[in-house]
Amino acid sequence: MDTTVSTDPNNITSGRPLLVGPSQPEPPYPIFVSGNVVQGFGRGGKQLGIPTANLPESAVAAALQNIPIGVYYGWAQVQHGEVRPMVMSLGWNPYFKNEKRSGEVHIIHGFAEDFYGQEMRVAILGFVREEKDYKSLEDLVADIRFDIRVALKSLEREAYLKIKDDQFFS
């Protein structure tokens, strides 16, 4: 089974694996964090076309106690709704030159409305890639879109699917 994209050196995702992580989550995963969705920088949906829900700083600090800055995959839930796949950036977002760390969760679902102030629960299950800077906004968006594909593929495995039913999401 082919698990990488093309080897075109001009493609930002060239050589990246489509499936990441072991066959089941291994320590320090899963990492469970929650908090009310806070206003972010307003870039995800508007500038990137990839809406994000931002975790409060306390949740970001809790998540980063056991893992480095980077991009992760797992499951997320808003206000006891359906548990959905997510990809999450934990870090500084160097392309935008952030001055504080953020936890930006892209829940892979088309929501009709924003949900600021609502509780979001996140199960971080694995590492996708390190955080990096980009030459262009197009490269950033291409990498995020590939991160989404990686998350969906990596979450298909039975041990990862089971975590959707964890009592954390009850």
Q: Length of the chain, please?
A: 170
Catalytic residue among 26, 57, 99, 104: 104
Active-site residue, 82 included: no
Among 48, 51, 92, residue whose Cα is nearest residue 70: 92
- For residues 87 and 71, the answer to whether their CB atoms sit within 8 Å is yes
| Residue 19 neighbours by CB under 8 Å, 6+ apart | 3, 150, 153, 154
| Residue 153 neighbours by CB under 8 Å, 6+ apart | 3, 18, 19
Q: What is the SS3 assignment for 56-115?
A: CHHHHHHHCCCCCCEEEEEEEEECCCCCEEEEEEEECCHHHCCCCCEEEEEECCCCCCCC
CA distance 154 to 74: 9
Catalogue the active-site residues. Answer: 104
